[in-house]
Structure 1
Amino acid sequence: MLSETTGPRVGPDGNGSRYARFGRKEWAELRASTPLVLGEEDLAVLQGINENVSLGEVEEVYLPLSRLLNLHVGATQKLHGTTAAFLGRPGPSAPYVIGIAGSVAVGKSTTARILQALLSYWPDHPKVDLVTTDGFLYPNRVLEERGLMDRKGFPESYDLKRLVRFVSDVKAGVPVVAAPVYSHLSYDVIPGEAQVVSSPDVLILEGLNVLQTSDGRGGKGPQTFVSDLFDFSIYVDAYEEDIERWYVERFMMLRRTVFDQKGSYFKRYAELSDEEARRVAADIWARINGPNLRENIATTRERARLVLEKGEDHSVRSVVLRKL
């Protein structure tokens, strides 16, 4: 099902298939009466660099998805209540955990922020926290010691035990859990800074490798992977040639903005000519992001419960839902 280039190809649809595939119009009908609670100004804050998500896409793609997730959260909460009643140990239900995976530059962060905004409007689960796995990367000092700076974003560059422990604690109902914070300006974990997560109704965890079942080291991996703790998982998908183009376009925009800021790790790229900058971006993709996508990220696509398939204009064209 994988072609020569990675892209939206998750299972056939039809009788007996594990998947149900929906065109955008067909998927939009599943919105039912779910109200649109976001406006243009809200959306402008939520979307990433060189993305242009329209309110139409929110209505047709993300509102039906928020409705589906709301139904799943409600059913899971009832199941937890049933188990607590059986055990005779009433208590707060565990947070519902959603994992969102996908390549660099594919738009998974925007998807995560839009879903966080939409889900927080549902009365059954108003407290929705969003955590990215970037903070669980090893600090640059450690990556340099291990010769992994050019493998940043690969499975072995993450502190997977710490990540699993964080999600386990949140899911177990620990009242206050701290996640490390990453700076894209300094390209490193910020020492002593933490994002505090305090008993959310829903936790969204977004990152490149959240659906992985390998630590990237070739040996025996951890007994538990973070994906084991997910209640629902989403993969944001597109053809590799489109993702590479989006990555280069984003690099060019960052070069004129973030890269030129004081303290930027990538400040050396700010003075490059357009031709030089495109060459550098293409080289980074060829050496790091492309191989990571093909070897580690795209291989987890069929583990997701739902796949958002994007077209060349960055908009979601179809949705694939795993039924079993």
Structure 2
Amino acid sequence: MLSSPEEKLLNSPFLDFNRAEWKELNGHFNLSLSVEEIDKLHAANEPLNYAEIEEIYFPLARLLELHIQQYHEVRHTINKFFRRNQQKLPFIIGIAGSVAVGKSTTARVLQKVLSFLPEKPKVALVTTDGFLYPNKVLSERGILNRKGFPESYDTKKLLNFLTAVKSGIRQHIVPVYSHLHYDILPDDTLLIEDPDILIVEGINVLQVNSQKGQNNKIFVSDYFDFSIYVDAKEEDIIQWYINRFESLRATAFQDPDSYFHRYANLTPKESKAMAIHIWNEINSPNLHNNILPTKYRADLILQKGSNHFVENVKVRKI
């Protein structure tokens, strides 16, 4: 017998909010952003406006503020119990989701909004692209065409970084990835210094299945204090990917230094066909085998509509 909608809701580990319900939870968050500031937060072909920030990210920031307050209260209580004065450790937020779903925009907006919380926390952002193996290594291993799959990441280096963060080390040097060159920049690094909040964004950050030949007992998500999955229907993500590919073909791919310069002279029809081919060969298998199965491990799910704006929010029950 099929469950009724009411029974399904009761059996779900998540609370469901439509956009109208969610925006009422913003807690009178006070933040003014100019059009220029908003433009710096979103990627090409990903619409973003003040209404999206106010109605989706203000309530999300308020919810995270409550979690962060609880995090510090527990730390204070534990310190009293152990009679130790352990130093403050960063609150780590993980953001996962498919290629082209808008994770980077979500991460940047959240970084901006959280920095305006009353305590004015220092919010750092790291993308797991920086922990991809260099192209030379991927080529030597015969997996350059599997970039973005779990085996293409230097997971040990990423885990070492997160371990250092949660061990109280205050300065961290992380690698930088160039989308123009489609590779790690060997002479460039990012300094992460004493953040109050650290956002870690990447397609596979919630994954727990071990890579072939490895017996991992620690996973990236073990270091998260809160996790978010950015979700959308696959047909919408495919269209966003096609649109992004065509936009890049007409702009970034025109640069002779671009790794994808060979696509610069494709016609729009050829560009669409190539984007679909890449999606079917690489991104779709990665989505279904590695990314999508992690969705319900998240503490919160942002569900986007075809217009790229969030329509529903799921929050794990406490």
Fold shared by both chains (TM-score > 0.5): yes
Write the deviation string for residues 202-228 of structure 1: whole angstroms up to 9, x where unpaired. 0000000000012432x4432100100
Write the deviation string for residues 81-109 of structure 1: whole angstroms up to 9, x where unpaired. 22122222214211000000001100010
Give the Cα–Cα distance (whole angstroms) in 2 for the partners of residues 124 and 155 of structure 1: 37
Query: Is 2:217 the partner of 1:223?
Result: yes
Write the deviation string for residues 57-95 of structure 1: whole angstroms up to 9, x where unpaired. 111111000000011111101111221222222142110
Equivalent position of 1:5 in the other structure: none
Query: Is 2:189 the partner of 1:191?
Result: no
| One-letter identity of the residue aligned with 2:111 | Q
Query: Is 2:255 the partner of 1:256?
Result: no
The 5 Å alignment of 1:63-212 reads 63-212=58-207
Give the Cα–Cα distance (whole angstroms) in 2 for the partners of residues 193 and 82 of structure 1: 41
Give the Cα–Cα distance (whole angstroms) in 2 for the partners of residues 221 and 186 of structure 1: 32
Preserved contact between residue 228 and residue 299 of structure 2 (Cα < 8 Å)? yes
| One-letter identity of the residue aligned with 2:291 | I
Preserved contact between residue 81 and residue 93 of structure 1 (Cα < 8 Å)? no
Query: In the comparison of the two structures, how many residue pairs are matched?
Result: 313
Preserved contact between residue 305 and residue 322 of structure 1 (Cα < 8 Å)? yes
In the superposition, relative to structure 1, how do residues 132 and 46 fare at CA in structure 2: closer, same or farther (>3 Å)?
same
Q: 1:291 aligned to 272, 285, 290, which one?
A: 285
| One-letter identity of the residue aligned with 2:184 | V
Preserved contact between residue 128 and residue 200 of structure 2 (Cα < 8 Å)? yes
Query: Is 2:22 the partner of 1:27?
Result: yes
Equivalent position of 2:42 in the other structure: 47
Preserved contact between residue 95 and residue 205 of structure 2 (Cα < 8 Å)? yes
Structure 1 residue 187: deviation in Å? 0.3
| One-letter identity of the residue aligned with 1:208 | I
Preserved contact between residue 214 and residue 221 of structure 1 (Cα < 8 Å)? no
| One-letter identity of the residue aligned with 1:124 | E
Structure 1 residue 38: deviation in Å? 2.3
Give the alignment's Cα RMSD to 1 decimal. Answer: 1.4
Preserved contact between residue 122 and residue 197 of structure 2 (Cα < 8 Å)? yes
Q: 4+ runs of 1 displaced by more than 6 Å?
A: none
Query: Is 2:232 the partner of 1:238?
Result: yes
Gaps of 5+ in 1: 1-11
Structure 1 residue 173: deviation in Å? 1.2
When normalised by structure 2's length, the TM-score is 0.95
User: Identity across aligned pairs (percent)?
Assistant: 51
Give the Cα–Cα distance (whole angstroms) in 2 for the partners of residues 292 and 97 of structure 1: 25
Write the deviation string for residues 285-306 of structure 1: whole angstroms up to 9, x where unpaired. 0000111011110000000000
